[in-house]
Chain A
Amino acid sequence: MNLGPHAAFILAAYAAAIVVVAGLVAWVILDFRAQKRVLGDLEAHGVTRRSTALKEPA
Chain B
Amino acid sequence: MALIDLANPTRFLNFAERVLPWLVAATLFAFAIGLEQALFVAPDDYQQGATVKIMFLHVPCAWLGMFCWGLMTVAALGTLVWRHPLADVAAKAAAPIGAAFTFLCLFTGSMWGRPMWGTYWQWDARLTSVLVLFIMYLGLIALWRSVEDPGRAGRAAAVLTLVGAVNLPIIKFSVDWWNTLHQPASVFRIGGPTIDKSILVPLFAMAIAFTLLFLTLHLAAMRNEILRRRVRSMQMLRVFADEDMRQIESRA
Contact = CB atoms under 8 A, between A and B. Distances in A.
B25 interface: no
B107 to A, nearest CB: 5
Interface string B209-252: 00001000100110110011011011101100100000000000
B111 A13 contact: yes
B238 A47 contact: yes
Given A6-B49, A9-B112, A42-B234, A17 B220 contact: no
Contacts of A4: 44, 49-51
B51 A6 contact: yes
Interface in A1-58: 1-7, 9-10, 12-14, 16-17, 20-21, 23-25, 27-29, 31-32, 35-36, 38-39, 42, 45, 47-50
Interface residues of B, number: 38
B114 interface: yes
Interface string B10-41: 00000000000000000000000000000110
B57 A17 contact: yes
Nearest to B57: A17
B51 A45 contact: no
Contact of B231 (A28, A42, A48, A50): A42
Nearest to B93: A28
Interface string B80-121: 000000000000000011001001100110011011000000
Nearest to B54: A13
Interface of A: 1-7, 9-10, 12-14, 16-17, 20-21, 23-25, 27-29, 31-32, 35-36, 38-39, 42, 45, 47-50
Given A16-B107, A17-B57, A35-B231, 17 more contacts: A1-B39, A4-B50, A10-B51, A12-B111, A13-B57, A13-B107, A13-B112, A20-B104, A24-B97, A28-B217, A28-B224, A31-B224, A32-B224, A39-B230, A42-B235, A42-B238, A48-B234
